[in-house]
Amino acid sequence: MAWRHFICDGHSGRYLAEVTEEVSASSFNRVINGVSTGTHSFTIKPDSDVPWRALVLPLWDRIFVSSWEGTVKYAGYIHTIDPWVRTSKTFTIRTSCVRDFLKNRFLYPVDEGNYRAGTLEVKDRSFAGAARALLAAATSGRTANWNLPLVLPEDGPGVVSRTWWYYEGWTAERALTELQSTSDGPDIDFEPRWTVYDQAGASNVEWVVRCGTPTLPSSALDFNLDAPNVPLTDVVYRLNAQQLRTGSVAFGKGSEADKRVAFANSLPGRTSMIRDRSESYPEIDDVDHLRGHAMSDLRWQREPTEQWQYTARGEYELDVRDEPSGVRIKNTLLESIRIGSVIRVYTGGDHLIARGWYPQYVIGYSCDLTSAVPLSVQPWRP
C-alpha cells in the first residue's frame, strides 16, 4: 500500500504525468467548508527526462494529485514554487484546491457589460440548487480560462430565495460562505476524484461539489476505543465553553433606529446562565433572512465545544458495503474516510468521559507519505 502522485492539466483535469518516484515529501490538509491545501517536494534524478517546466508551469494551470490505492484523496492547483535549489536539484510546490478560485471570482467577468448584468437571483430553491446557481455563474459556461473541472450539485426546489446584487461586488466564495452560514445551511465539500482510473494510469481529475442537508451524506464507521488493536491512536478530548451563548442578536443593513435586527433565544441547553452575543451582517436587508443567521449562530454555540482528536491507521482493513451493488468488500480505512464521514467511538468510561457511544463528524484530515491520518472531528448532529 502506497501513495501515488500525478500532475494534471488545470483546465480540463486531463492526466499529464505520474511523478511518484520524484516526490520526496508531501503533505496536505483536507477541510470542510473551506480551501484544502498542500505542500509537496521533489528531488530530480540526474538522468531525469521529465519535462518539469512544462509540468509545473504556468502556475494556476497545473493540478497536483495524491492518490491512495487508486482513490484520490487530494488535488490542488500549483500556485507557488518555493524554493528551487539548483545545486541539489530539489524544489517545493504549494497547492490549493479548486475552491481557492472562488475568492478570486465575482459572479460575473470583470467588464462593464457583465458587471451591469451581474445580478444573480434564486427563488424557492434547495440549498444545493442555490449553490449550483452560484457556482455555475462563477465557474462554467464561458471561456476555457473561466471554466473549472467541477461536477455541480443537483438543482431542486426548496426554501432558499436570495438576490446577489451586482453593485454589492459578491465574490463566489463570499456568497457561498454566506449561504452556508444561514440557519440549516449546508456543509459543502469539494471532493476530488478520477473520472477513470486503472492500475496502468489515470484519466481526468475533477472535483465533485457535495452539498449537505445540512450535514454531508456518508457512511458510518464504529470503533471501540477500549478494544485491542483499535485503529485509532493518540486519543485526546477537549471541552470548551468560552464561546457559549444563550441568546443571539443579528444586526443587518441600516443605521441607528432603522437598522434591521433579529433575535434568537429559544434553544434549550445544559447551561442556563445568560451569555448573549451579537453578529453583524451589513448586507442583509430581509429580517427573516437575518433571523436565520441569528438562529444559526445560536445553534452552533449553545453548547460547549466538544473536541476529539485521534490519528487513524490508514492501512487498517475494513469490511465495508459497496454502493450501489451492496457487495461486502475489503477497503483500507484511508480509502473509506471522507469529509463528512461519521465515526462512532465507544468508551467504557474514564475519569472525565462517561461510558457510551460518541458519534463524530469528520470535518478534516491530514496526510503525508505515511499511512497515519490525523483526523479533525466534531460531535455529529444529524
Question: How many domains are there within the chain?
Answer: 4
Q: Provide the domain limits for residue 79.
A: 3-99
Q: What is the pLDDT of residue 47?
A: 86
Same domain (yes/no): 92, 136: no
Cα–Cα dist 223/49, whole Å:
47
Cell readout for 177 is: 460562505
Residues 293 and 248 placed together within one structural domain of the fold? yes
Report the largest interatomic distance among the alpha carbons of the chain, rounded to a whole angstrom: 74
Q: Is residue 205 part of a domain?
A: no
65 and 23 within one domain:
yes
Q: How far apart are CA 44 and CA 101, in angstroms?
A: 30
Please report whether residue 203 resides in a domain. no
Residue 213 counted as domain residue: no
Please tell me whether residues 178 and 69 are part of one structural domain: no
Distance CA 6, CA 210 (A): 23
The whole-number pLDDT of residue 264 equals 94
pLDDT, residue 320, reads: 66
- Report if residue 168 sits inside a domain: yes
**Whether residue 107 is found in the same domain as residue 173:** yes
The yes-or-no verdict on residue 327 having pLDDT over 90 is no
Mean pLDDT of 135-139: 96
Q: Is 341 helix (H, G, I), strand (E, B) or coil?
A: coil
Average pLDDT in the 36-54 region? 94
The position carrying cell 434553544 is 267
133 belongs to a structural domain: yes
CA atoms within 13 A on the CB side of 65: 33
What is the pLDDT, as a whole number, of residue 92? Answer: 98
Q: Which of 75, 99, 123 is the last residue of a domain?
A: 99
User: Do 251 and 235 fall within a single domain?
Assistant: no
For the ranges 30-39, 239-248, 322-331, the one whose mean pLDDT is highest: 30-39
Q: What is the pLDDT of residues 238-257, one digit of tens each?
A: 988 998 999 999 999 999 99
- Condensed to tens digits (0 to 9), the pLDDT of residues 345-380 reads 999 988 888 899 999 999 999 999 999 999 999 888
- The string of DSSP codes covering 43-106 is E--TT----HHHHH-STTSEEEEEEETTEEEEEEEEEEEEEEETTTTEEEEEEE-GGGGGGG-B
Same domain for 33 and 169, yes or no, is no
pLDDT surpasses 90 at 330: no
Domain membership of residue 367 (yes or no) is yes
**Cβ-based burial of 85 (10 A; exposed 0-12, middle 13-18, buried ≥19):** exposed
Alpha-carbon span 249 to 343, nearest angstrom = 34
Which of 99, 120, 149 lies at the terminal end of a domain, its last residue? 99
Closest to 96 in 3D by CA, of 143, 29, 46, 48: 29
> Among 303, 321, 355, where does a domain finish?
303
Same domain for 130 and 51? no
Same domain assignment for residues 106 and 186: yes
Among 149, 54, 42, 38, residue whose Cα is nearest residue 95: 38
pLDDT tens-digit map of 273-307: 899 999 999 989 999 989 999 998 998 888 888 88
Looking at the structure, tell me whether residues 111 and 63 fall in a common domain. no
Does the structure show a pLDDT above 60 at 201? no
Is 118 found in the same domain as 267? no
Return all residues near 308 (Cβ < 8 A) that are at least 6 apart.
235, 236, 237, 238, 345, 358, 360, 377
Mean pLDDT, residues 208-226 taken together: 93
Can you give the CATH number for the domain in which 251 is found?
Answer: 3.30.1920
154 and 296 together in one domain? no
Would you list the DSSP string of 163-209?
EE-GGGT-BHHHHHHHHHTSTTPPPEEEEEEESSEETTEE--EEEEE
Q: Do 148 and 140 form a contact (C-beta atoms < 8 A)? A: yes
Band (pLDDT 50/70/90 cuts) for residue 325 is low
Task: Report pLDDT for 57.
Answer: 97
Whether 162 shows a pLDDT value over 90: the answer reads yes
